[in-house]
């Protein structure tokens, strides 16, 4: 976990968005209004997406730990709940931009 004085860089932010599963999960958190009860089941977040083939092993050992280590999400391993983390505001503007232009993006982008 990052210390409170560290913030993620643009490169880190783009790395968080580089994987389709992570994009879907972060967009799901954006849609659930993270300022209010934003817990999202990570597997439900992608159930209707093209990235639904992500395995629980990938989820638990790769994607969620990566986003948590960056401080973008907080992940409760006991319950499986995911919510926005202390670095969320560094990623949110790019997520809003992606979400606002979802219809204009090439097929398969998300």
Domain 10-100 listed as CATH 1.10.10: yes
Position 53 confidence tier, pLDDT thresholds 50, 70, 90: low
Q: What is the pTM assigned to this prediction?
A: 0.75
The tens digit of pLDDT for each residue in 58-74 reads 888 899 999 999 999 99
The tens digit of pLDDT for each residue in 28-41 reads 889 875 433 334 45
Residue 43 has a pLDDT of 54
Question: Does residue 14 sit in helix, strand or coil?
Answer: helix
When pLDDT is averaged across residues 25-53 and rounded to a whole number, the result is 59
Tell me: pLDDT of 96 over 60.
yes
């Amino acid at each position: 976990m990052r210390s409170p004085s560290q913030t993620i860089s643009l490169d880190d932010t783009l790395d968080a968005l580089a994987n389709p599963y992570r994009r879907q999960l972060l967009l799901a958190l954006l849609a659930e209004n993270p300022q209010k009860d934003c817990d999202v089941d990570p597997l439900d977040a992608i159930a209707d997406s093209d990235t639904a083939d992500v395995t629980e092993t990938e989820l638990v050992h790769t994607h969620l730990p990566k986003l948590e280590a960056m401080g973008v999400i907080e992940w409760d391993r006991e319950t499986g709940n995911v919510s926005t983390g202390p670095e969320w505001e560094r990623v949110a503007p790019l997520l809003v931009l992606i979400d606002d232009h979802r219809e204009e993006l090439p097929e398969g982008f998300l």
